[in-house]
Amino acid sequence: MDITDWRRKIDDIDRKLVELLCQRAQAVHEIGKLKSIAGLPVYEPDREKKVLENARSVNVGPLPDRDLLRIYERIVDVMRQSEMELAAKKPLPPDGLGDTEIDSEVND
């Protein structure tokens, strides 16, 4: 393969990585909803350690464990932040509209 072929391969892999990261984010959001209902904290250090260990345990190289774990730490950080942002959002009322009044003191 030449450089163009290798770059095309990388582009294909990147598309797959984005798809998988989006699936992971969706799973994180669903877990976040369940945690919110159960009153559980977003940050669970023991679970994060397990995620990193799972990633390390299936690494066959050529990426060294140290580098793989740096990537996974960043993924976990971003996913946790996303879960925290989702948890911080005020849930909409059942009608889905929320407060649309700019000034609730004014009756139109």
Question: What CATH number is attached to the domain comprising 61?
Answer: 1.20.59.10
Whether 24 maps to a domain, the answer reads yes
- How far apart are alpha carbons 86 and 23 in whole angstroms? 16
- Does residue 107 register a pLDDT over 50? no
Into how many domains does the chain fold?
1
pLDDT in tens, 15-40: 999 999 999 999 999 999 999 999 99
Whether 106 maps to a domain, the answer reads no
Whether 2 maps to a domain, the answer reads no
Does the model's pTM come out above 0.85?
no
Of 48, 30, 46, residue with least CA distance to 38: 30
Domain that holds residue 64: 8-88
Whether 30 maps to a domain, the answer reads yes
- How far apart are alpha carbons 17 and 31 in whole angstroms? 21
Pairwise pLDDT comparison (98 vs 5), residue with the higher score: 5
pLDDT in tens, 57-100: 999 999 999 999 999 999 999 999 999 998 887 554 555 454 54
Whether 67 maps to a domain, the answer reads yes
